Amino acid sequence: MNRRRPIFLVVVLAILAIVVALPAFAAESPQPDSPGNSGKAKKEKVAKDPVTLSGTLSSSTDADGRKTYTIRSGGTTYTLEAGPAWFLGDNNPLEQHVGDSVTIVGDKAADSTEVDVETVNGTALREGGKPPWAGGWKRVGEGHPGWSQEKADRFEAKFGDCFPPGQCKEKPNRGGPDADGGTDPD
C-alpha cells in the first residue's frame, strides 16, 4: 500500500493539472469548426455615442479619388459617413446638401471625428433596420467588393435559387409531365 500512494497522488495531480489547464488552452485557440466562427479573430465593436452637429456641409476628393463629406462644428471638422462608398457610388444622399447649413444627427466613437449620419435636418437618410448593403455579396450582388462571377456560379451550382438550404418549399407537380413522361393527376 505504501507504493500505491505515490502513484495515486501523481495520477490525481496530473488529472487536476489537465482540468485546470484545459479551459485556458481552449480559450486561446480559435474554434474554426464551431458554427458561426471561421477561426478569425472577432472584430471588437466600438461603442458609439449620439452626436448632433450644425454647420455647412462640404465635400472634397480624397487621394483615391473618392468624394468625402465633412462638417465643421464647434471648432472641429468631422468626416460624415452615409454608407460604404462602393454601395452608394455617385448616389450619396449627402451630396444634395453640399454648401447648405445643416443639422446632422448621428453616432461617433469617443476618440473619433468620423460620424455615421442618421438624419440631415430631421430627415432620415435610410429606413430603419439592416442597411441595404448588409448581407455580403450573396445579397448585394455584383456591386459588392466580395462578389465575383466565379463565386456566383459556384453558389448557383450548389444551391440553385434555394437559399438558405432547406428553406425552399418543393413545388407540387400539378398535371405536368412527371419523371416517366406521363402526367400526374391533380
In this prediction the pTM is 0.53
| Rounded CA separation 57/38 (Å) | 41
98 belongs to a structural domain: yes
Burial 114-135 (b: 16+ CB within 10 A, else e): ebebbebeeeebeeeeeeebee
Helix, strand, coil distribution of the chain in percent, nearest 5: 25, 25, 50
Mean pLDDT of the chain: 75
At residue 173, the pLDDT reads 55
At residue 64, the pLDDT reads 80
117 belongs to a structural domain: yes
142 belongs to a structural domain: no
CATH of the domain at 105: 2.40.50
At residue 77, the pLDDT reads 92
> CB count, 10 Å around CB of 100?
11
Which of the four pLDDT bands, split at 50, 70 and 90, describes residue 101? Answer: very high
Domain that holds residue 68: 48-124
112 belongs to a structural domain: yes
C-alpha separations of 184 from 168, 170, 172, 173, 178 in Å: 22, 15, 10, 7, 6
31 belongs to a structural domain: no
Reported as a single tens digit per residue, the pLDDT across 133-151 is 666 666 666 666 776 778 7
| Rounded CA separation 21/179 (Å) | 60
Report the number of distinct structural domains present in the chain. Answer: 1
Size (the chain), residues: 186
151 belongs to a structural domain: no
pLDDT tops 50 at residue 82: yes
At residue 133, the pLDDT reads 62
At residue 54, the pLDDT reads 92
15 belongs to a structural domain: no
Longest dimension (CA), the chain: 92
111 belongs to a structural domain: yes
Q: Cell 481552449 maps to which residue?
A: 26
